[in-house]
Amino acid sequence: MNWRWLKVSEEKAAKLYGQRSIHPIIARILSTRGIRTPQEAEDFLHPRLSQLTDPFAITHLREAVDLLECAIREHWPISIIGDYDVDGVTSVTLLVRLLRHCGLEPQYFIPRRFTEGYGMSDEIIERLRQKSSPRLLIALDCGTNAVEQVRCLRAAGIDVLILDHHQSNDALPADCILVNPHIFDAAAHPSWLSLCSAGLVFKLIHGFFKHLRAQKDPCALSYSIRQELDLVAMGTIADLVPLLGENRILAHYGLNEFACKRRPGIEALCRVAQIPESQSAAPEDISFKLGPRINASGRLADAVIPVQMLLAENSEEARLLAQSLDEMNAERQRIERAILAEAEELFRQSEELPGIFFSNPAWHSGIVGIVCGKFARNYRRPCIVLGEERGLAKGSGRSVAGYNLIEILSPCASLLESWGGHPLAVGISLKPENVPLFQKAFQESVRTFRQKFSREGDELLITQTLSLDDIDGPFLVDLENLRPFGQDNPEPIFALKQVFLDRAAEPFGKNKKHLRLLLKREAQDPFPCLYWNGARRIPPAKRSLDLAIRLLRESWQGRRSVRSELLDWKLSSS
């Protein structure tokens, strides 16, 4: 890979570690994350719930609380619609728990992906009205663009409350309460733009009980909003929103809740995902273990199942539902492997093209996004993978650092029925007859982008150069305080220069494709390091090496230790 070092202002870093007991290396990292003052550094390293902003500062949130209070006081029938991803599922769970605590039994609906599509579609509204007769409809993680659907609901005398974090295409729904910082609060408080829907629901819950506590309502005194932060953390991390500002606080405390008494649904899900009971979940546990199992139901079946699991108060009920999700995830993996095998064969026939593009109507449109992401990561270039859904070629685009999918797809937009996302991930749909033209336009656009920005080869962004002696207790404590890592707070990658292996690399794992390394240290035990898939490129034992690593915490039988993972290596320059 091409190694590139983050630019660090030593002057800014010195202001941080000169006035606070912050390790100099951590101060340099903080300075690259926009931290300018010692107080900002303190707030970042030691987040507190008291740092959360007043929920009523969010536009229309007070009106939402007033409507919710009226509906609860007058016992209105309430229906809830949420998205079928982790953010939508956790958002629905949070609101149902709030309403149940206040004595109501709301009905909740998650769209069936293949027959009802996404969000407040006509189909999901029709099912909702056949199954329930709400006085209030609450839409979570969707609804900002549901102009016609809201008009029809209001004409039928149904009040509508929308909490969403998606941007508007054009017109907004009228005669309803819309809480969406992207629409109303961008200038006033830019950090709210990064809240996912679970975060917005938490702000609603916070505001609601703040209002009730001011009235000394006993309902508020018997409810702890802190106990809901595990759900908020799951939605926040799974939705890949920036883990900065309020998201960082919510994720930090939410992850800690995993180490406390877990609710039956989360405990059951952690069991099938093999996350130990005494261990607080890490972001990667949510991203790669819990999240995929929740998403599997929305991809293959009915996403109402994970809501039922998260709401379950009976351990046996939760266990059965978690087992069902685990089986769906196994089926999802089976389908994914089959698509990957076909796609790998196709890739070998077009490996020289600048972008990666596959389309097959037989491929499961709920799975192609995962396949797309793997190809983008493995081959370090933009990728589009399409299946078919509801008469359209539909799928996902994934990219890697250095390739902006929004810029790449913009010249192709006239061929698409719909598309949207961010520079590293998009969703698209188009008419099947336009697929060949789109494929050609996509490849040309990637080629043009690559020539314009000289994107050749793979780039690895190095946070800081270390020596093995730097990896001591005080440094590791401060490094731990940088967690949770995630979007816009990436895990640091460190360079070690002129190090030697203590002995030849030891292969392990299936087909012996991984390597176990020991790095030589003076007057200390060798430092352990793992190199996943390293058998394809084995570092020599008797040569001076430069290594790019990341440092990982480990916990085993109550004891914590640190190890490193090797990402890339080079022979040291003379």
Q: Is the pLDDT of residue 523 over 80?
A: no
| 253-291 confidence digits (pLDDT tens) | 999 888 777 899 999 999 999 887 766 778 888 988 999
The residue with greater pLDDT, 186 or 58, is 58
Mean pLDDT over each residue of the chain, to the nearest integer: 89
The Cα 399–Cα 380 span in angstroms is: 8
What mean pLDDT is predicted for residues 317-346? 95
pLDDT above 70 covers a percentage of the chain that reads 95
| Cβ neighbours of 245 (radius 10 Å) | 22
Two structure tokens written together for 555: 């916990």
pLDDT for the residue 19: 66
Span 85-104, average pLDDT: 96
* pLDDT at 457 > cutoff 80: no
Structure tokens at 139: 């839409």
Whether the per-residue pLDDT at 138 is higher than 90: the answer is yes
pLDDT in the model for residue 38: 87
161 by DSSP, 3-state: which? strand
Range from 166-175, 298-307, 355-364, 556-565 carrying the lowest mean pLDDT: 556-565
The pLDDT of 191-210, averaged and rounded, is 93
Q: Which of 120, 90, 67 is nearest to 201 (CA)?
A: 90
Give the pLDDT mean for 134-160: 95
Domains contained in the chain, CATH given: 2-6+460-571 (2.40.50.460), 51-255 (3.90.1640.30), 258-329 (no CATH), 350-457 (3.10.310.30)
pLDDT tier for residue 189 given thresholds of 50, 70 and 90: confident
**556: which residues sit within 8 A by CB, 6+ positions away?**
none
pLDDT at residue 221 in the model:
84
Nearest to 71 by CA among 51, 90, 98: 98
Question: 50 versus 168: which is more confidently predicted?
Answer: 50
| 560, pLDDT greater than 70 | no
**Residue 462 pLDDT:** 92
Q: Which residue has the higher pLDDT, 234 or 15?
A: 234
pLDDT at position 556 over 70: no
Over residues 403-425, the mean pLDDT reads 86
d(Cα 369, Cα 427) in Å, to the nearest integer?
8
Q: How many angstroms separate the CA atoms of 560 and 556, rounded?
A: 6
Percent of the chain having pLDDT more than 90?
59
Using pLDDT thresholds of 50, 70 and 90, give the confidence band for residue 156.
very high
Cβ contacts of 64 within 8 Å, gap of 6 or more: 161, 163, 177, 179, 204, 207
CA–CA distance, 29 with 501 (Å, rounded to integer): 27
Alpha carbon 3 to chain centroid, angstroms:
26
Q: Name the least confident of 311-325, 349-363, 414-428.
A: 414-428
Q: Is the pLDDT of residue 558 over 90?
A: no
Which pLDDT score is estimated for 314?
A: 93
pLDDT bucket at 48, cuts 50 / 70 / 90: very high
How is residue 564 annotated by DSSP?
Answer: E
- Residues counted in the chain: 574
